[in-house]
Structure 1
Amino acid sequence: MARLHRRQFLKRSAALASLAYCAQIVPSRGETAQSKLNIAAIGVGGRGRANLDGVKDENIVALCDVDANNLAEAAKLFPRAKLYRDFRRMLDEMGNSIDAVVVSTPDHTHAPAAAAAMKLGKHCYCEKPLTHCVYEARYLAELAAEKKVVTQIGTQIHAGDNYRRVVEWVQAGVIGPIQEVHVWCAASYSGGDTPKDTPPVPPYLDWDLWLGPAPYRPYHPAYVPFRWRGWKDFGSGALGDFFCHYSDLAFWALGLKYPTSVEAEGPPPHPDSTPPWLIVRYEFPARGELPPVRLTWYDGGKRPPIQAEVKLPDWASGVLFVGEKGMILADYGRRLLWPEEKFAGFQPPPETIPPSIGHHREWVEACKTGGTTTCHFGYSGPLTEAALLGMVAFRVGQKINWDPVNLKAINCPEADIWIKKPYREGWSL
């Protein structure tokens, strides 16, 4: 379940792996301070370790990972937590002892893990992208609303002050009405050709559980650790990894939700691998008095031509809002108005969005108080849907006209197989 990208774990011994099965002491609800949540973590390596760090002040009562080395390392930090390889067993056995669940698995197991937790009424923090296919994103958003649980997606950049100031500039009309946005990211993930050799599965890895709902294939180190992002059965390339981070700024500032059409440009589709680069063009409808918006995504080193045309700074990744009065260029930590000479002496609008208490802390406090979060599944579900619709358009090779109510590409019935994927026997939502 883990991100599995630390090479040193590959050298761990089978003896260390056996620690994963050792029984640990779990505090009962009677022993738990009322001010702390009982949290279970599904996936504890890579991003899972970072997410654990974000909630470490709560009671970490269970750790789950298909990699025994990851479990053993996490158990050193949380020795009272009970250890599991299969999250289904963990939830079956510990459902009454858990308040909330953190999901940090590879993309293809986000939805089954998050859905299983929420069905039990558990609050859920899930890494981005929220899911691996469009249908899953809608399902999780609706399930969260039905169960009235507190949710948050792992777009931690959302908690930074820079994004808040950009949102204020946009919404204050500093550059006027905006109908054009460009979002680009230098990252590139592509698996290449499918491996033909079948090396043995490492003793610390439960390969069948790692595959989860994905179609069976033999183990290969080309898939784990981390390189799963380059394979369509597990990830969605750079689009899946970064759209929810960068385009989050546009969705937040402009109140975007569901696109009306999506068109993708890229290299010829590989049957098994994700594309090394993509350009995806989205059209969003008017929202009240706000005009329609064209948002274009670029990854794998592709850039918007306007960056060179108007001599913008040579940022490898960024978000560009094009308004009637000028432009705003931003990334995770920077922002500027363009052309600079036009905005000389600029006085920013009042700060109306308060500082974040922290992305993880925001979720934890909302779980305790019955409050809400800024990146709950009702917001991050549509954000994820948009990201994954770019991959749908790429796979079908044509512009799709999107019906968000019925989750249908109106003009392209062959898109159905990419909108909702089949699960391997034994796995379901």
Structure 2
Amino acid sequence: MSHAFNRRQGLAAAGSVALAAASARHLTAQSPNEKLNLACIGIGGRGAANVGGVRGENIIALVDVDQQRGKQAFESHAGAKRYADYRVMLDELGGKLDGVVISTPDHTHFHPALAAMQLGLHVYLEKPLAHNVWETRTLTDFAREKKLATQLGAQRHTKSNMHRVVELIQSGAIGNVSEVHSWVSGSRGMPSMPTDRPQPPATLDYDLWLGPVAGRPYHPSFCPYGWRFWWDFGTGETGNWGCHILDIPFWALGLRYPKRVDASGPEVDADRTPKSMSCHLEFPTSNQDSPVKLHWGHGTPAILSKLGLNASGCNNLFIGDKGMLLCGFDKRQLLPEDQFADFKEPEKFIPDSPGFYREWIDACKGGPAATCHFDYSGPMAETVLLSNVAYRAGGFDWDSKNLSTGQNQKAQALIKEPYRKGWDIKV
């Protein structure tokens, strides 16, 4: 089967009919009382949780390349039509859908998301949005152009402690923030290189799992889960946790695109993501109208021991001209402690979320944009991916308008990656 994008180019009339039907469906779905017709693509692992998150709507299609991994979701939604190939599903049901929920591995985020948006469908997409910067920017721009409801799966965005951290920073509790240190602890990465060549399980369509990536022979070390730590398929712990942890400084400081990206770490492996790395990003401005230096690390940053800080449960340190804020998803501490002993936190001004999935569902029905819509989360995801580029190819000045790494052509080659035959894209 040729790729859906190419096939639809040859069936323009049929695609127009499907788009018209989808648009008509969207008009009737503006009522907040009407249930959405949804398809879920990738329904094992994290995907199963996302299926559960939208279970109150009409889930009319479920898609997974592994019938065993998707078994629980398939059986829990017996009325939904089952597919292995999202392209077949969109061809058959695109005109009946309002939106799609995509929870596939990183390397197969972009193709189903763009295909769905080309049909006028709203999209909930797991982080880090896509596998490379070009894909991320393309989805962000397309969603804005078509006025589609989107949500990136940074579910911790709704945590009340994160709201309070943003309120503290934006109310000036620690003054003007010039520097932020963000990190994920742990040492996952660099899996063992397989030496055996087992056959894929009978329930898995491995060629579909590979999707646009030429890839490598099947091995259980990367399929179904370990893919995260292989460059062909994943984006390492930086891609895995970056969009959760950097969500805090991006939101608090209104960050967009860096102008300079540098990184360091252990020797780069061509196939596998590292167990540690550090990246330094310079942002030309913030919502405080001043530059910000953002340091991202896979591994605990040295500044914590230098300052004698107990960072247990934390993953961000904001440094301002009137103090510091050490925080995590569920913890916050203003420093120095004696300076803030009598500090009174500002009145809450960030409203509680109705629920991360509910935000997107309401947006699909004509409500306000979800809090992690692509215009907000796209630049954050790009920053995460740029960190990996700098680690793999060296530092560069970043021209965000033209997606250019300047003189660093090795880095430029990672901004947009080639697809294997049959999966080429024309936007």
TM-score normalised to the size of structure 2? Answer: 0.90
CA distance, structure 2, for counterparts of residue 387 and residue 79 of structure 1: 38
User: How far off its partner does 1:288 sit?
Assistant: 6.3
- Give 2:276's aligned residue: 277
- Give 2:318's aligned residue: 321
TM-score normalised to the size of structure 1? Answer: 0.90
Name the SS for the 1:68 alignment partner: coil
Of the three residues 338, 343, 359, the one matched with 1:341 is: 338
Q: What value does the CA root-mean-square deviation take over the aligned residues?
A: 1.6
User: How far off its partner does 1:290 sit?
Assistant: 2.3
Of the three residues 354, 364, 367, the one matched with 1:367 is: 364
**1:125-180 deviation per Cα after TM superposition (whole angstroms, max 9, x unaligned):** 00000011010010000110121110000000001111111000000000000010
CA distance, structure 2, for counterparts of residue 182 and residue 314 of structure 1: 12
CA distance, structure 1, for counterparts of residue 297 and residue 335 of structure 2: 21
**1:82-112 deviation per Cα after TM superposition (whole angstroms, max 9, x unaligned):** 0000111110110111101000000000111
- Give 1:14's aligned residue: none
Equivalent pair of 1:177/1:290 in contact (CA under 8 Å): no
- Give 2:93's aligned residue: 94
Of the three residues 390, 406, 417, the one matched with 1:421 is: 417
The alignment status of 1:211 with 2:210, answered yes or no, reads yes
The alignment status of 1:158 with 2:154, answered yes or no, reads no
Of the three residues 367, 379, 382, the one matched with 1:382 is: 379
CA distance, structure 2, for counterparts of residue 426 and residue 296 of structure 1: 39
User: How far off its partner does 1:190 sit?
Assistant: 2.2
Name the SS for the 2:365 alignment partner: helix
| Matched residue type, 1:73 | Q
Equivalent pair of 2:313/2:331 in contact (CA under 8 Å): no
**1:49-98 deviation per Cα after TM superposition (whole angstroms, max 9, x unaligned):** 11111111000100000110133311221111000001111101101111
CA distance, structure 1, for counterparts of residue 397 and residue 227 of structure 2: 30
Mind listing any 5+ residue stretches in structure 1 that lack a counterpart? 1-28
The alignment status of 1:186 with 2:182, answered yes or no, reads no
CA distance, structure 2, for counterparts of residue 360 and residue 155 of structure 1: 11
Name the SS for the 1:182 alignment partner: strand
**1:280-320 deviation per Cα after TM superposition (whole angstroms, max 9, x unaligned):** 11110124652101111111xx2222212222223265111
CA distance, structure 2, for counterparts of residue 267 and residue 72 of structure 1: 40
Range moving further from structure 2, 371-380 or 98-107: 371-380
CA distance, structure 1, for counterparts of residue 51 and residue 41 of structure 2: 10
- Give 1:143's aligned residue: 142
CA distance, structure 2, for counterparts of residue 427 and residue 106 of structure 1: 16
Name the SS for the 1:202 alignment partner: coil
CA distance, structure 1, for counterparts of residue 100 and residue 295 of structure 2: 34
User: How far off its partner does 1:374 sit?
Assistant: 1.1
- Give 1:259's aligned residue: 258
- Give 2:131's aligned residue: 132
CA distance, structure 2, for counterparts of residue 188 and residue 337 of structure 1: 28
| Matched residue type, 2:282 | E
**1:241-271 deviation per Cα after TM superposition (whole angstroms, max 9, x unaligned):** 0010000100000010100011111111111
Name the SS for the 1:175 alignment partner: coil
CA distance, structure 2, for counterparts of residue 317 and residue 219 of structure 1: 37
- Aligned length in residues: 397
Mind listing any 5+ residue stretches in structure 2 that lack a counterpart? 1-24
Equivalent pair of 1:128/1:241 in contact (CA under 8 Å): yes
- Give 1:18's aligned residue: none
CA distance, structure 2, for counterparts of residue 316 and residue 288 of structure 1: 27
| Matched residue type, 1:422 | P
Name the SS for the 1:409 alignment partner: coil
- Give 1:5's aligned residue: none
The alignment status of 1:350 with 2:347, answered yes or no, reads yes
